[in-house]
Structure 1
């Protein structure tokens, strides 16, 4: 009985130490399978606290925070024309993923041009845990495989960090996912470090942030429909806004807010359509079916 109590205390302590942590993953990805380019990389953060986790791009978060602080400062100073010159825009990954403990319900946030979506995704990974073990960095890890979002995945997880979480929407293994890669080797996440969250850190959901337009809450099936409509007509939401009399402004190369001319709008639409056509190897490959 004494051994059982001691083991329980030890386990609780391990779980407590795993929480209030920021895990840093390197995400390597190729979105255009025909280009033959080297993979792009982005550092993604997984913040874990007692009530859940949040997965997002480090560079995008830092850029958005800097823009918000600059805008607030200029508004308070009574500036009539917003100027964001001098801000270096970093980060290509715009989505974020939140999971709520203990049921690990998944909420996905993403922008499709002017529309921001909050997607309740009830899909689960059906893991097969294998006997293979190895070392990745300081962790002893074990192999698991699953099919999810149109890809076959291999994960390596560690029970040294007994939280059933991981990058993106992945979770449900008996420990933290240290490395995750699909069989085409075009999308991979690998843990590169972790640290305690800053003192006073407050986990806030993306749905609570200030925004001009209300967020659109949908399930996974409705988001799939909206995603296909976006790829077919990427300027639709902007045209709808302009039809309602909303002036759509953009940040030009100097960092100032401007209204695009008709020719600039046409060039923008052409570029956006071309970019979308090149995105034939997106992370959630089943969205293209």
Structure 2
């Protein structure tokens, strides 16, 4: 847990003066239940400032930065290998209002960005069990959430009632949380000061829905992704395997579209073990 010793010493002062803090988690995922050897690992950031926090992918932030520079310069000649390496398995952003407890989940379905407010509370049961993680004493808590049993270890001396993903509400920062099946884990690796919390680029209008409606849309997309892109193209929100023509119009390239369809179907097939099972 690199740099956390010095970080803790200055944390109280930072909280008093409203400075922002970034907690870097290593996220480990097994997205394919048929292939437990497919283990994906990447970093995610939890930015906390005052009564607000944002949890998002490090890779997504880097991609956003590249797109932002491209829009500023008008040059969209991307390095394909670089962009491919920045594709993230953490395809969501979670904002928390730490005062009210409201958690807002944002993610893209096809070309549309959706958001919903989480309507399920996490009922933690704090146990007497403790664990030394790095230099820090942590205490264990358990909860059932979204179809999984979760175990969390929170730092009792760090007065931030937050954690990665949708996890929060414990009397200390969550240093580690994992599900009982060993499919998902979030491990705190580093903490540092930042000037302000990041606001990930939503790129377009965000469609606000209820959680159940989001899940229905996502399930329909997984069953027939091509129809989503076709519908979006017809309404001018983007194409699927299209080429740019004069006047800014986009028309389908049949060969490229077919390749993208097959790739997307294969990705969906191998992503059958979501973090939320129900």
Q: Return 5+ residue gaps in structure 1 as ranges.
A: 1-10, 253-257
Structure 2 counterparts to residues 205-224 of structure 1, below 5 A: 205-206=199-200, 209=201, 211-212=203-204, 214-224=205-215
Deviation at 1:40, TM superposition (A): 0.7
Work out whether 1:272 is the aligned partner of 2:272. Answer: no
Match of 1:225 in 2: 216
Structure 2 counterparts to residues 55-70 of structure 1, below 5 A: 55-70=55-70
Contact 2:146–2:276 (CA<8 Å) still a contact in 1?
yes
Q: Distance in 1 between matches of 2:162 and 2:109?
A: 27
Q: Secondary structure at the match of 2:239?
A: coil
Structure 2 counterparts to residues 64-79 of structure 1, below 5 A: 64-74=64-74
Deviation at 1:251, TM superposition (A): 9.5
User: Alignment partner for residue 243 of structure 1, among 234, 238, 250?
Assistant: 234
**What does the per-residue CA deviation read over 1:75-108, in whole Å, with 9 as the maximum and x for residues that have no partner?**
xxxx6xx422377121412211000121221001
User: Alignment partner for residue 261 of structure 1, among 253, 261, 264?
Assistant: 253
Work out whether 1:84 is the aligned partner of 2:78. Answer: yes
Q: 1:246 to 1:145 in 2, by over 3 A?
A: closer
Q: Distance in 2 between matches of 1:264 and 1:250?
A: 5
Q: Distance in 2 between matches of 1:251 and 1:133?
A: 55
**What does the per-residue CA deviation read over 1:25-71, in whole Å, with 9 as the maximum and x for residues that have no partner?**
00000100111324110100000000310000112101211121122
Q: 1:19 to 1:134 in 2, by over 3 A?
A: farther
Work out whether 1:177 is the aligned partner of 2:171. Answer: no
Work out whether 1:109 is the aligned partner of 2:101. Answer: no
Q: Secondary structure at the match of 2:225?
A: coil
Q: 1:246 to 1:167 in 2, by over 3 A?
A: closer
Q: Distance in 2 between matches of 1:215 and 1:227?
A: 15
With 21-30 and 240-249 compared, the bigger mean Cα shift is at: 240-249
Contact 2:29–2:40 (CA<8 Å) still a contact in 1?
yes
Q: Return 5+ residue gaps in structure 2 as ranges.
A: 1-10, 244-249
Q: Secondary structure at the match of 1:168?
A: coil
Q: Distance in 1 between matches of 2:49 and 2:24?
A: 15
Q: Distance in 2 between matches of 1:192 and 1:18?
A: 23
Q: Which has the larger radius of gyration?
A: 1
Normalised by the length of structure 2, the TM-score is: 0.84
Q: Distance in 1 between matches of 2:26 and 2:237?
A: 39
CA RMSD of aligned residues (A): 2.5
